[in-house]
Amino acid sequence: MDYNYLTIFPLLQILDKRSEDPFSFFRVSTLKTGNLVHLPNLEETLPDRTFLPPEIISSIPLTIEGITEAFPESGVGPTKEAIQTTLAVCNAAAIEGETKSCPKSLEEMVGFAKAALGGTTLLALTSKNTRGSGAEMVIGRMKQYGATKIVACHEAFLPFAAYFCHSLSSTRLYAVEVVDRKAGAAVNTMLAICHMDTSAWPKSHVAFEILKFGPGEGEACHWFTQLDLAWIGDESE
């Protein structure tokens, strides 16, 4: 079988904590100042790992054999299963309108973002912190980035730091201030991304279960987790 997102998505959801939280996905209409929003749990649960130097990581094939040879302790039990899931996601074919990569180093991530965005000067964006995670908050000030192309990078599980990065068409990126309901004070500025075209998504996508519509019938937005990154071209240029 040739893997693409239609066949691989159940595996992708294993890596993605959004599959476990009913507040994970929302409509773009939620993003209005003054609206109440229940934030999902955005804390990372994967163990801390670091990027390896390029000269080391370049010698490790992105295969289960190559990884377990370099890291023998990762070749058994749940760790091996998690690595196999990551590799299945990385090797899956892109959906229509998507560019994707699984960079094994920071240098590879930057290189992919530059190639996907077609520029040399980039901005890396993240949520400020995870305050407000799992709680009901009020939407404060917002900024929609004007970028027409966005690269989103989500942490993936390997014995070293690694990411699943992709760029999808028809995507909007927002910086959203969230305000404590009782204190009335802003506690965080978080990134939210909205995929405006869901027509190529599989019917089994958890977003459709949460939002109660099918592929192509509406947009799906979600918050960035603790270690997610967004890359855009420098808007000051």
List, for residues 152-174, the tens digit of each pLDDT value: 999 888 999 999 999 988 999 99
The domain tally of the chain equals: 1
Asked if the model's pLDDT at residue 128 lies above 50, the reply is: yes
| Sheet with 229-233, side-by-side order of all strands | 98-101, 162-168, 151-156, 229-233, 122-125
Asked if the model's pLDDT at residue 42 lies above 80, the reply is: yes
Q: Which residues form the domain of 203?
A: 5-233
What's 39's DSSP letter?
-
- The pLDDT value recorded for residue 8 is 41
Q: Which pLDDT band holds residue 222 (cuts at 50, 70, 90)?
A: very high
Asked if the model's pLDDT at residue 98 lies above 80, the reply is: yes
Q: Nearest-CA neighbor of 42 among 223, 213, 218?
A: 223
In angstroms, rounded to a whole number, what is the distance separating the alpha carbons of residues 117 and 150?
A: 7
Q: SS3 for 152?
A: strand
Mean pLDDT of the chain: 87
Looking at residues 202-211, what average pLDDT do you find?
88
Q: What is the pTM of this model?
A: 0.85
pLDDT in tens, 7-39: 344 444 444 544 557 888 999 999 999 999 999
- The pLDDT value recorded for residue 179 is 97
